[in-house]
Structure formats: structure tokens, C-alpha cells
A and B are shown apart, each in its own frame.
Chain A
Amino acid sequence: MDSENSACGNPNPNPTLGPSKLMLAFRFLRALSLVHRTTPASSRTCRGRRIERAAYASMAYSAGTGRGWSRAVLRRLHHRARRRAVAPRRLSTTAGNRAEALRQLVPGGAGMDYCTLLEETADYIKCLSMQVELMQGIVDSSSSYGP
């Protein structure tokens, strides 16, 4: 799954402007079809998680390696390829300090200073919202065309 994403040519050429929606769509759709093809129809949750991982992977590849959070996501994906790990979602309410909570949410946030953390959060939010838009669009159009 990662290989096909990474085989897709150069990373994001303009990291400051944010990932291009087109590349995001391309990567995600490709990964999505792969997941659909390779996982058996019975294990829906398994497929769902794979799709989610594919979403994060395509997000990270589109964002390029210029961003701390994208590097962290890719690192996590590569290292945990065997385990069924998804994006960690520890409840931030347990963390008293808000900065700590934010660090838990944003991938790679633990090793950053506060200033960088804010910057990465902004980029992460941009990419996340793009990804959500894309997925919503796919769901909508596929449901309208659905069987």
C-alpha cells in the first residue's frame, strides 16, 4: 500500500501552499481500490482500518517530507506495517495541559517545541480537512451511483 503511494513521483513541490488536492485524490483513490481488491469482503472493519491507514498515508505523501507531522506518519506506517495500528487517538481530556493534548493529537508532536507545534497543527488541519472532503466526495458520489 505504501509502495504504490511512494512510487508516485516527487513529493509535494510546494510544501508551503499545502498538498495539492489532485495528488491527494489520485493517491487515495488508488490506495482505496487496492484495499478493496485485496481484502476479503467479510472483514469490513479490517478493511475500514486499512482504508483509514491509506487515507493517512496518502495525506502524508501528498504533504511531502517537508512537514514534521507527515514524516512522523510515514515513520509510524513503515514501522508498524505488521501490526494493525491506526492513528493513535488517545483521549486528550486526560491531559491536563492543553499543549500536551495537542501533542498527542498531532503526529510527531511530542518532539516539537510549542512554536513548531502550532505551525504543524495548522498544516495538519489543512491536510486533514482536504482528506475529509475527498472522502466525503467519494462516499457521496458512490452512493448516488451505487448499486
Chain B
Amino acid sequence: MDMNERDECSSEKNEHHLTYSNAGFSSGWQFRNPSVGIVPGDQRGSMEDSFNPSLWKLCESDMPAIAKPVPATSRFDDGWTPSDSSSRGGTFLPSGPPILTPTLSHFPADSAFIKRAARFSCFSAASLGSMAAPFGASHLAGAQIHNIDINMAKDASLHDVEPGEATVPSGVGGGHENADSSSKDLAAKKRRRSSEELEAEQGDPQMAAEAKTESVDTDHKAEQSSSTAKPNGKHDKDASEAPKEDYIHVRARRGQATNSHSLAERVRREKISQRMKLLQELVPGCSKVTGKAVMLDEIINYVQSLQQQVEFLSMKLAAVNPRLDFNIESLLSKDFLQSHGGTSSAIGFSPDAVHPQMHVSQQGLVQAEISGNLNHPNAFRRAVNSMPNAWDEQLQNVMQMAAFSSNSQQPRTQ
């Protein structure tokens, strides 16, 4: 009789169960436990409400003391394990108080279950403050906490997380690895936040700490799997849809489409905005400008002006002819010829014969750094590095040496 009633109820309840994206046991437990306000009460059918007050009373007063014999069934026993499937969970739904008691009579029989029961009741928003249990942490209960955390995170923290998610797209834009770590952090933060909320309610640091550690650990594993599946965009943020995947996909923003195309689009847009920011820093006077169009105009103008400057300066350089240039050339080549044995034949002149003084002055420079080696760019670099590093100072030094050496020579006709 009990079994029959149970069966009838279970068939109805099963459908309810399947809508909950949770392991069967825990959702069944939530169903049973009125004070577990984790899944918002709106989602529940009216049937649970009828159970709620009765369960409440039973839980409050009778839990440790229920001694009514239970028609022992293997199904019941199995049902208390957290690994239950959703179909089994349905069988536990009592249709009425008489059936409640058999289930509740198991409470004393299973001390671990008592702990679990206390835990779940503790998590309720409407909470049994009294039920805030001094029960020690148990592993099973912790796993349930994890599941409940997920539900909480999905439904309740969704609202909280909006500002936090603003940081996620930047992580996305930064590349796959960066995105993984940032989403992991965000997911971990969510779990911690939800468990902290719970902690604040009951003041049981032990449980919350364990919940945190467990949820964080499982976080990482699930995040990896979810992040690898990310490009497919299969994970939906809405709680109602993810059956096996308890994790929220942090990269999909709430209220936005999550198929692969829009995710890729979002990544692309993040990249573009990053680059625009870079450009904004490069182009002078663009920090106040906002808006892509105006920025682009500024950038175009700047590039145009730079190119015009190059043209103008090159014309000027053509006019200003410097024998100084020639001296600079010799200065530079001197170094290379010394270190690299005259491969710069394109330069086409022999410094030794023509500029003896410069040769001497150059020698000092060359010997200043040493190592007769290889690449003339390196030698040149070393040569000039011996001079101060300021851009203008370098040029000035070079010019000074050129001037010094040019004073002692006859100017070359060009």
C-alpha cells in the first residue's frame, strides 16, 4: 500500500524531477524538505506545499526521535545515496504524511543522513535557524552541498554576478588560456560567494569551508570540460537547460545568445576594442575622443600627417646636404670595417686613407667595447651604447665627433 501510493506519486513527481537539473537524490531531497529554499519556491508544484508544513514539523521535532518502523525496502536505502538517479529520486516522494513517516523513520537509522538532512535544512533561506546543526561535516553531505551550490549559483547568484561578468569578456579577449583561468576564477568566486551567503545565514564556518574546497575542486574539473566545449557554445546559462552539466558557462553573458557564432563575434569585438584602445594611446590627443568612428578619423589623419612629414623631411634632407652625413657614414662604417673586415662594400670608400684623424678617434671608440666579432649591427650597437642613451644625445655625440673630425679635413666635393 505504501509502495503503491509511492509509485503513484513517483510517476507524477518524476516529471517534476526531470525539470530540475540536479542529481536525483538531492532534488528529491529538496522536494521533500520544505525548508530548502534553494530552488525558488515558484518552481515547485503545489503538491510540495502540502508536504512542506508536515515535513517541517517532522524535521523539527521528530528527526532524531522517529522510531516508526519502516517497511524496509532496498529502494529506500539506495535512495539515500547521493549517487541516485533522478528516477529513483522520484520514488521517494511521499504523497502524504503517512508515507512521510516511513521515510523519516530512516533518519535515526542513518546518522550520515541526519547530517545531510541538517545540512540541507541549514541551506534553506527560510531557514530553520534551529536546525543549524552542530553536525560535523561529512563527505556525502558535502557533495550535496556542491549540487545545491550549483543550483543556488545558477538561480540566485545569476543576479549577483552581472558586474562580475564584465570582467569575463576581457578574459575572453585575452586568449583561450587566459579565458580559462579567468572563467575558472569567476566560477570559483561564484561558488565561494554562494557558500559564503549560506555561511552568513547559519554561521557554520566548517560546512562552508568544506563546501568551498569541494566546490572549488570540482569547479576546476568541470571548468576544464566546459571550457573545452566552449567553442561549441553548447552550454547555456539558463538553469533549466543544462542537464548533466551543472556548471554555468561563465563566458556566455546573461541574457545573450550563446551559440557559437555570437560567442565568436563577441570575442572578435573584444579584440577590436582592445586594439582601438592601443591606438588611442598611440595617437596623441585621442584620450578624450570616444566612439569608433571619430577615433578612426583621428587615426587616419595622424597616419596621413606622419607620412607627409616623412616626405617633407626627406625633401629637406635632400636639400641640406651634409658632408656631415658623409662623416657620419664613415664613422659608422669605421666601426664595421674594424670589426667585420670590410664587408660593407656598398659604402664604397676606404676610410683609412682619407681620414686618419678620425681613424684615431674611432679607435678609442672601438676599443672601448671590444670583442672583435661578427655582426656589425651588434658592434655598432655596442659602440653607440658606450655613449649616453638618450636619442638626441646620441645624435649629438655622433655629430660632434663628425664635426671634430671634419674640421681637420678638407671638405669633400659632392
Contacts and interface: CB of A to CB of B under 8 A. Distances in A.
B293 A98 contact: yes
B328 A33 contact: yes
5 contacts: A25-B394, A29-B328, A36-B322, A52-B315, A86-B311
A142 B303 CA distance: 26
A77 to B, nearest CB: 15
A22 B394 CA distance: 9
Contacts, number: 181
A143 B320 contact: yes
Given A135-B314, A141-B396, A30 B272 contact: no
B403 interface: yes
B1 interface: no
B341 to A, nearest CB: 14
A126 B299 CA distance: 12
B310 A55 contact: yes
A139 B321 CA distance: 10
Nearest to B274: A118
A contact residues, range: 35 or more
Give the top 5 A-B pairs by smallest Cβ distance, nearest first: A33-B329, A118-B275, A48-B318, A52-B314, A4-B346
B275 A7 contact: no
Contacts of B299: 102, 121, 125
Given A4-B346, A48-B315, A102-B300, A37 B282 contact: no
Interface stretch (B5-13, B119-127, B371-379): B371-379
A23 interface: yes
B42 interface: no
Contact of B392 (A10, A32, A54, A137): A137
B130 to A, nearest CB: 60
Interface of B: 268, 271-272, 275-276, 278-279, 282-283, 293, 296-297, 299-300, 302-304, 306-311, 313-326, 328-329, 332-333, 343-344, 346-348, 375-378, 380-381, 384, 391-392, 394-396, 399, 402-403, 414
Q: Is the interface of B mostly helix, strand, loop or mixed?
A: helix
B414 A41 contact: yes
A34 B279 contact: no
A91 to B, nearest CB: 9
A72 interface: no
Nearest to B380: A26
B230 to A, nearest CB: 20
Given A7-B343, A115-B268, 15 more contacts: A26-B377, A32-B325, A36-B325, A41-B321, A47-B318, A89-B307, A98-B300, A115-B275, A118-B278, A122-B275, A124-B303, A125-B279, A128-B306, A142-B324, A142-B399
Nearest to A8: B377
A47 B317 CA distance: 9
A138 interface: yes
B136 to A, nearest CB: 55
A101 B414 CA distance: 42
B323 to A, nearest CB: 8
A115 B271 CA distance: 7
A125 B314 contact: no
A26 B314 CA distance: 16
Contacts of A52: 310-311, 314-315
B332 A29 contact: yes
Contacts of B346: 3-4, 7, 34
A56 B306 CA distance: 12
Given A37-B414, A44-B318, A125-B303, A4 B344 contact: yes
B317 A32 contact: yes
B399 A145 contact: yes
